[in-house]
Amino acid sequence: MKFSTTWLKDHLETDASLQEIVDTLNAIGLEVEGVEDPAEKLAGFTVAKVLTAKKHPDADKLQVLTVDTGEGDPLQVVCGAPNARAGMMGVLGQPGAVVPSNGMELRKSAIRGVESNGMMCSVRELELGEDHDGIIELPEDAPVGYSFADYHGSSPIIDVAITPNRPDCMGVYGIARDLAAAGLGTLKPIAFPEFTAEGACPVEIRTDDPEGCPAFYGRVIKGVKNGPSPDWLVQRLKSAGQRPISLLVDLTNYLMLAFGRPAHAYDVAKLHGAVVARRATKGEQVLALNEKTYTLDESMVVIADDKEVHDIAGIMGGENSGVQDDTTDVLLEIAYFDPPRIGVTGRKLGLASDARTRFERGVDPAFLQEGLDLLTGLIVELAGGQASEAVQAGSPPSEPKVLSFDTARTVRLGGVEVSADEQRRILESLDFAVGDDWQVTCPLRRHDIEGPADLVEEVVRIHGLDKVESVALPRVEGVARPTATADQVVERKLRRAAAASGLNEAITWSFLPEDEAAHFADSAALWALANPISEDMKVMRPSLLPGLLNAAKRAATRGSASTRLFEIGRRYFRGSDGLSDERSTLGVVLAGEKTARSWATGKAQMFDAYDAKAAATQLLEAAGAPAGNLMVMGEAGSQFHPGQSGTLRLGPKKVLARFGMVHPATLKALDVDGPIAAVEIFLDAIPQKKAWKGAKSFARPSFTPPALQSVTRDFAFLVPEALPAAELVRAVKGADKANITDVGVFDVFAGQGVPEGRKSVAVEVTLQPAEKSYKDADLKAISDAIVAAAAKQGAELRG
């Protein structure tokens, strides 16, 4: 929320400097996000008087002015404004000044052969408005030579972040109240302009939905004259980032920004019959002030007459009944709407507004009549007209919350000593009524106060959070115990292993579009959000791969030739008990070139299914999975290419990972160019290592190399063509676990000399003797065991 210090001082009597105001706001929990000083933009611009104005000798539309700056000799300035004339007061930008509208630095120059020492400026050039028909004309008594920034009264603008629990500070007056409570000045009473109300309201006003709109107040003002707003109002709105529209609209916005009270003005001439707060009917439509048409449902509250809907209650008015320059009679509406209903309606319609921000957080229900009278008085004072009596349909919440407060809680919960008298002063300065028995009655606008702990927070933040002493948490002596869980330890190891292998970590959204989530769900029950941020984030992800594939797509569109990404996160499913079923997962995507083209390797090599398998195996080993016992099987899922993918399992049913090339149909569904290799490791499926129950030893582990040299033997087998080499390797390893330490494939061949339907797979077997060297009989026995184990897989020793 933005406001100028001038606006703040309309409500706060203070001599505090800008820095003191900013520091105090931060200290009491109203975080200052930025400070902008418009006077800095106007440096170098001064009030000047035009002494003479003569036609330029070489240009019909230019004049040569003599300008008095109040310092030294008059300056000569070339000007093309039609209203420039001798005797007028204006604003001169001298050489060195920077024009705010375009950033141009003014310099002494020659225009059509005539020297010019600056520029007489228009409103638009100084970003004070949109008028560009001529230069600024100041009153005759404007002081020549005076800084225009000081003359104009430009004051710093403060941008404050208001947390959702503080709707009472969604107006400048609420911020002034907090600053006054903090001792930065005195809160001024609200000045209500006087007016006389005569006659009954000619428009019937009522609420037919007391649940959604408990209170609907209003009155008619006849004979108003709409038009531009006065300078003070324009400056207030601009400091808040609002664009002035017309006097009537600007005054409703002023009420909202100054006091946190949204209001609306209808053109009576465009209304038909009674104006009613009611529920919308399903399919009913309204053309809003943003020129968009919205389709409503029966859960939404609207303001309507006998003919049509004129307002999406609490969010945005309708185009058809908005006030115009020729409006003469207006109906003012100030209402109290149910905050949750406003939030639901806004999310359903995807419609945000300043009014919604305030209503869904909860406006002050005690400021309806006062707000209506204040707005009425301002309109009558500035736009004229005759106000009718007010109509009060329904009644807002009026039962205040009363809490029992123990002042000793402040030191227990807040960690700071504050005297009882000071605590009473702070609470009363924030409009809490404190009884002699410390029964505290909360103001109705403080929806955030739920218990005594909230009162402690009010006392501590106003007293000063910087006064709370920093105290270290107690810690027992000795070596601190590890705090990471087993799952966290595994994730840390995986991150290091993935990064060491050349993968880059990505963090993608946990939400997906519904169609992408369904593509990866494999008929599992998805978690769909009732109130998603957007339709593109409607469903909790059932897989990490869509997010990584989209990340690879973004990298490719930005010219990345090779993308290697991994992510550790959660997949989400709807459990049978109605709760979320979250599963820890690691995803890997390998896209583009594995090796770039070069004179040594020739053309670039792309990632393939073998790279995906290697990554899966390496990362599973890093996670502590028994990599030597893994089985390679198919059925990686419909998202993977059936001939270039597989799964890694512990037994036929326990799937630890799936890997391979992403199916072209999946890439097409996500609009991603391929080919792309991917891995998904299901960390929750990896068996946990059993905890060691023996005595703990802190000695450094030692490694003694074997005393005897290892022996290698090569075997070539004829195996069925469909048999994976990994199955043969596993069988050979299991033939003699005491002696066989490693098995590796070094040749695979099919073709001439190999029977049809078979292939030749050659493996190197490493044997490690323990206590004595092998004899021929030992080696023969091991070889026979290897051949026998291979035969069980349909393999035979090649002759």
For residue 670, what pLDDT is reported? Answer: 92
pLDDT at 485 over 70: yes
Q: What is the pLDDT of residue 428?
A: 96
Same domain, 259 and 327: yes
Asked if pLDDT for residue 420 goes beyond 90, the answer is: yes
Closest CA to 172 of 182, 159, 181: 159
**Which band of pLDDT confidence, cut at 50, 70 and 90, is reported for residue 282?**
very high
Residue 427 pLDDT greater than 90, yes or no: yes
Residue 697 inside a domain? The answer is: no
- In a domain, residue 556? The reply is yes
> Using the 8-state DSSP alphabet, how is residue 609 labeled?
H
Q: Answer yes or no: is pLDDT of 129 > 80.
A: no
Answer yes or no: are the C-beta atoms of 786 and 793 closer than 8 Å. Answer: no
**Which of 685, 701, 729 is a domain's end point?**
685
Give the domain extent around 678: 486-685
Q: Within a domain: residue 543?
A: yes
Q: What's the CATH code of the domain at 789? A: 3.30.70.380
| Of 685, 703, 726, the domain-final residue | 685
436 is in an annotated binding site: no
pLDDT reported for residue 703:
59
DSSP class of residue 789 equals: H
Cα 689 from Cα 623, distance rounded (Å): 11
For residues 335 and 370, membership in a common domain is answered with yes
Q: What is the predicted pLDDT for the residue at 231?
A: 85
Question: Which one has a higher pLDDT value, 763 or 525?
Answer: 763
> Which of 710, 724, 746 has the alpha carbon at shortest distance from 794?
724
Per-residue pLDDT, 693 = 52
- Position 197 in a domain: no
Regarding whether 774 and 718 lie in a shared domain, the answer is: yes
Residues 511 and 610 in one domain: yes
Secondary structure E strands in 470-561: 504-505, 511-512, 539-540
Within this chain, do residues 429 and 389 fall inside the same structural domain, yes or no? no
Asked if 558 and 657 sit in the same domain, the reply is yes
Chain segment 314-334, per-residue pLDDT in tens: 999 999 888 999 999 999 999
Query: How many structural domains are present in the chain?
Result: 6
- Statement to judge: residues 642 and 587 lie in one domain: yes
- Mind listing the pLDDT tens digit for each residue in 723-743? 888 889 989 998 998 899 999
Q: 747 a known binding residue?
A: no
pLDDT at residue 765 tops 90? yes
Tens digit of each residue's pLDDT (9 = 90 or more) over 433-475: 999 999 999 999 999 999 999 999 999 999 988 888 888 888 8
Amino acid identity, position 596: A
pTM over 0.75: no
Residue 442 located in a structural domain? yes
**Residue at 620 is within a domain:** yes
Let me know the angle formed at the C-alpha of 773 by 767 and 777, rounded to the nearest 5 degrees.
80
Q: Write down the pLDDT at residue 130.
A: 74
Residue 691 within any structural domain of the chain: no
Q: What is the DSSP string of 569-593?
A: EEEEEE-TTSSEEEEEEEEEEEEEE
Query: How far apart are the C-alpha atoms of 623 and 620, rounded to whole Å?
Result: 5
270/154: higher pLDDT: 270
- Distances, alpha carbon 648 to alpha carbons 93, 431, 482, in Å: 75, 67, 32
Which tens digit of pLDDT belongs to each residue from 346-365? 999 999 999 999 999 999 99
User: What are the tokens at 515?
Assistant: 């169609």
Query: Which CATH number goes with the domain that contains 433?
Result: 3.30.56.10
Is 250 annotated among the ligand-binding residues? Answer: no
State pLDDT tens for residues 591-633. Answer: 999 988 888 778 888 999 999 999 999 999 999 888 777 888 8
Q: How many whole angstroms separate alpha carbon 674 and alpha carbon 668?
A: 9
Domain boundary among 352, 371, 394: 394
**530 band by pLDDT with thresholds 50, 70 and 90:** confident
Tell me the CATH number at 273.
Answer: 3.50.40.10
Residues 518 and 643 in one domain: yes
Tell me, yes or no, whether 226 and 343 share the same domain. yes
Residues 27 and 50 in one domain: no
**Beta-strand runs (E) in 190-340:** 205-207, 215-222, 264-267, 275-279, 285-287, 293-295, 301-304, 309-312, 316-317, 330-336
Alpha-carbon span 606 to 596, nearest angstrom = 9
DSSP letter for each residue of 385-415: -EE---EEEE-------EEE--TTHIIIII-
Which positions ≥6 away from 527 have C-beta within 8 Å?
539, 540, 572, 573, 574, 580
On whether residue 122 sits in a domain, the answer given is: yes
Condensed to tens digits (0 to 9), the pLDDT of residues 213-244 reads 999 999 999 999 999 999 899 889 988 989 89
pLDDT at 690: 63
